[in-house]
Chains A and B, each alone.
Chain A
Amino acid sequence: MSAALQVSGLVKRFGGLVATNDLSFSLNEGESLGLIGPNGAGKTTVFSQIMGELRQNSGTIELFGKEISALSTPQRIRAGVSRTYQIPRPFGDMSVAENIRVGLMPDDIRRMIFSPPDTERERELALSVGFSEEDLDRTPTELAMGDLRKLEMARTMATAPKVMLLDEVFAGLTTGEIAQISDLIQSMRKDGMTFLIVSHDLPALEPLIDRAIAIERGTMIAEGSFSDVMNDKAVQASYLGGA
């Protein structure tokens, strides 16, 4: 059986800076993997390469056994992988419902025109991330950071991914919102979703993942269970030095 996501020998250079250094890891279907590392370690850059927003210098990325490096971002999303952004990027002048609508659209102009939006599914997604009925018509300018992150989750879920990459899911959220998003992730895990999660909030991350990998300056420094990784000397040194 092939892994849901398999990254091998990934290298990304920005000029002289090696942002991803020979990184390999794999993620089984239904598994949830934590990706940790200090600020600037290269976590977001890994996400961008998996999504095709950045092209790696070398290495391969396989999704369910299929090499996706040659695909465009929309093609990769159709192949079943989707991400949230560290800094939410909503459509500023559109309502919450319309934002989600964009995620739900088929990549087919004829169907965009001739089949109506699935407002029921929009509502369902919005409610599942914790929005209320009244929120559906609000615009992102009226939303707080926590709501923007929820919207980001909902729009990502709307693309019907099999593998979800979550970047700094808990940044800027209140404890109540963290619990809400955690519950959502847990219930999706029960339904078999595969996750790769980046978070600085380690206590909140721990219950959501099966395994963790730690990177520093683009290089993997530890891999294993959450507690193994946290007890690793290199990880402790990098967190003390980096934080």
Chain B
Amino acid sequence: MGLRWFHFALWGGLIAGMFLLPQVVSNGTLRTMIFANYLAIFAISWDVLSGRTGYVSFGHPFLIGIGAYTTAILTKRFDIPVEISIPVAVVFTMIAGLLVLLPALRIRGSYFALVTLAFMELLYQLVQVIRPDLTGGTRGMSGIQTLTRGAANGYYLSTALMLAIAVSMWLLMKTRLGTALSAIGMNEESVRGSGLSTTRLKAFAFLTSAMIAGLGGAFYVHYLGSLAPRALFDINFLFTIIVAALLGGTSTIIGPMIGAFFMTFLLEYLRPVLPGAERYFVYGAIALLLYMYQPKGIVELVKRGFKNLSKGRTA
């Protein structure tokens, strides 16, 4: 499937709509959307790696955390301007991505997922004990420089970042590279048997995923202004990322975006009913059921709906 005019029309409509939104909605809703934007970035990052190549990462907070900690430490402890610290954070995250690639050269499936989980736990424990004067130890860090002031500006920045990532990933995944990465997820041996070096392709996927995670993590920490290890290297956080990608629809770009917004707003609307962590009960139950009965996610449901509609019309 090549590029068509309506693809650009849809993206254009989405971009215009998202940038006009602050004119009509409340600041509270905007704050929720900021979270949805960052979650969408993380879910896209997860999907580039896990949704495509089938190397399921249970350690994405590890990558996000490297990005967030690097820029937080550089700006707060060493007074380095964000123009430098964020790119450095992205580079560090990509190096960390290569670290995660190492086991993926030999193992896949369950074992790979577990190594990445171990990476996350390892970093969680290490930031608390190694140089707490830099990392803030168990308590984390606060008073980190923020990039924007006010909900609307935070929204514009996060939306611009998210859409820039989404559109460039969408363009990238439309090329033969996207086909090759998806092929790895379906049958890695056959990709090698078709003459492609899967190591190089996987390295590319890991680096791209890490780059997005690093960008997202760095901007996110400069939005929050603080960072706490328990909230970052947390299975609930990991779970939110994975579920957003899965529910929306893996191996697509719009899927993780839809999933992120769906999940964020679901959590938000549950807040009055279930104020604490219990919200995850409903949220998780919905996620579990949806995943078990439609593993291809919301995008697939919508596609089928359209198919049935057009079938009904032609019949």
Given contacts A93-B182, A117-B176, contact A77 B187 (CB under 8 A): no
Q: In the docked arrangement, what's the CA distance between A113 and B179, Å?
A: 10
Set A72, A102, A115: member contacting B183, Cβ < 8 A? A102
Q: Which residues of B contact A102 (CB under 8 A)?
A: 179-180, 183, 190-191, 194, 196
The answer to whether B177 touches A92 (Cβ under 8 A) is no
Quick one: CB contact mask for B144-180 with A, threshold 8 Å, 1 for yes? Answer: 0000000000000000000000000000100111011
Once the chains are docked, how many angstroms separate the CA of A231 from the CA of B257?
Answer: 67
Contact indicator B194/A94 (Cβ below 8 Å): no
> Is the Cβ of B176 less than 8 Å from the Cβ of A91?
no
Are B197 and A74 within 8 A (Cβ)?
A: yes
Question: Which among A89, A103, A115 is the interface contact of B195 at CB below 8 angstroms?
Answer: A103
Instruction: List, in ascending order, chain B residues with CB within 8 A of A113's CB.
Output: 172, 175-177
Partner of B194, one of A112, A114, A159: A159
Contacts of A93 in B (CB 8 A): 182, 186, 251
Give CA–CA (A82, B191) in the complex, Å.
12
Binary interface encoding of chain A residues 95-125 relative to chain B, with 1 for a CB under 8 A from any of its CBs, else 0: 0001001110101010011111100000000
Between B182, B190, B198, the greatest number of chain A beta carbons within 10 A of the residue's beta carbon is seen for: B190
B202 CB to nearest chain A CB (Å): 11
Using Cβ atoms and an 8 Å threshold, which residues of chain B touch A224? Answer: none
A94 to B184: give the CA distance in the assembly, Å. 12
Q: Which of A85, A102, A117 has the most C-beta atoms of chain B within 10 angstroms of its own C-beta?
A: A102
Knowing A103-B195, A109-B204, A158-B194 touch, does A53 contact B189 (C-beta < 8 A)? yes
Residue count of chain B within 8 Å CB distance of chain A: 25
Expressed in whole angstroms, the minimum distance between the Cβ of A173 and any Cβ of chain B is 20
Q: A98-B179, A109-B204, A112-B177 are in contact. Are A91 and B187 (CB under 8 A)?
A: yes
CA distance A56 to B180 in the complex (A): 29
Q: Do the beta carbons of B180 and A77 come within 8 Å of each other?
A: no
Cα–Cα, bound, A92→B177 (Å): 17
How far, in angstroms, from A172 to B179 measured CA to CA in the complex?
29
Among B187, B194, B197, B198, residue most surrounded by chain A Cβ atoms (within 10 Å): B194
B303 proximal to A (CB < 8 A):
no
Say whether A82 contacts B179, CB under 8 Å.
no
The smallest beta-carbon distance between B180 and chain A, in angstroms, is: 6
How distant is A55 from chain B, measured CB to nearest CB, in Å? Answer: 14
B131 adjacent to chain A (CB < 8 Å): no
User: What sequence of 0s and 1s flags, for each residue 190-221 of chain B, a beta carbon within 8 Å of any chain A beta carbon?
Assistant: 11111111101100100000000000000000
Min CB–CB distance A214 → chain B (angstroms): 26
Measured in the bound complex, the distance between the Cα atoms of B61 and A166 in whole Å is 46
Residues of the B chain whose Cβ atoms lie less than 8 Å from the Cβ of A41: none
Count class of interface residues, chain A? 20 to 34
| Residues from chain A with Cβ under 8 Å of B251 in the complex | 93
Near B by CB (< 8 A), chain A positions 49-88 give: 51, 53, 72-74, 77-78, 82-83, 85
Taken together as a complex, chains A and B put the C-alpha atoms of A34 and B238 apart, in Å, by 54
- Interface of B: prevailing SS: helix
A105 in contact with B194 (CB, 8 Å): yes
Contact A78–B189 (Cβ < 8 Å) = no
Contacts of A105 in B (CB 8 A): 176, 179-180, 194-196
Cβ of A12 within 8 Å of any chain B Cβ, yes or no, is no
Distance in angstroms between the alpha carbons of A153 and B189 in the assembled complex: 16
Does B197 contact A94, Cβ atoms closer than 8 Å? Answer: no
Residue in B2, B176, B191, B193 whose beta carbon sits within 8 Å of that of A85 in the complex: B193
Name A74's contact: one of B175, B179, B186, B192 (CB within 8 Å). Answer: B192
On whether the beta carbons of A107 and B195 are closer than 8 Å, the reply is yes
Q: Does A90 contact B (CB under 8 A)?
A: yes
| A83 B193 Cβ-Cβ under 8 A | yes
Of B172, B177, B251, which is in contact with the most chain A CB atoms at under 10 Å from its CB? B177
Q: Which residues of chain A have C-beta atoms less than 8 A from B198's C-beta?
A: 74
Q: Are B180 and A112 in contact (CB under 8 A)?
A: yes
Taking the complex as formed, is A155 at the interface, i.e. its CB lies under 8 A from any CB of chain B? yes
Instruction: Give the distance to chain A from B198, nearest Cβ to Cβ, in Å.
Output: 8
Encode B127-150 as 1/0 by CB contact (under 8 A) with A. Answer: 000000000000000000000000
The reply to whether B186 and A92 form a contact with Cβ atoms under 8 Å apart is yes
The answer on a CB contact under 8 Å between A94 and B186 is: yes
**Are A90 and B195 in contact, with the CB atoms below 8 A?**
no
Give bound CA distance, A93 to B178, whole Å: 13
Q: What is the distance, in angstroms, from B148's C-beta to the closest C-beta of chain A? A: 33
Q: With A53-B189, A92-B187 as given contacts, are A78 and B195 in contact (CB-CB < 8 Å)?
A: yes
Q: Which residues of B contact A73 (CB under 8 A)?
A: 192-193, 195
Known A74-B196, A102-B196, A105-B179; further 18 A-B contacts with Cβ < 8 A: A77-B195, A85-B193, A91-B183, A92-B187, A94-B179, A94-B183, A101-B176, A102-B179, A102-B191, A103-B195, A105-B180, A105-B195, A107-B195, A107-B197, A112-B175, A116-B2, A117-B179, A159-B195
Residues of A at the B interface (CB closer than 8 Å) are: 51, 53, 72-74, 77-78, 82-83, 85, 89-94, 98, 101-103, 105, 107, 109, 112-117, 155, 158-159
* In the complex, the 4 A-B pairs of residues with the closest C-beta atoms, listed nearest first: A77-B195, A91-B186, A112-B177, A112-B176
8 examples of A-B residue contacts, CB within 8 angstroms: A72-B197, A83-B193, A91-B182, A91-B186, A102-B183, A109-B177, A109-B204, A116-B2
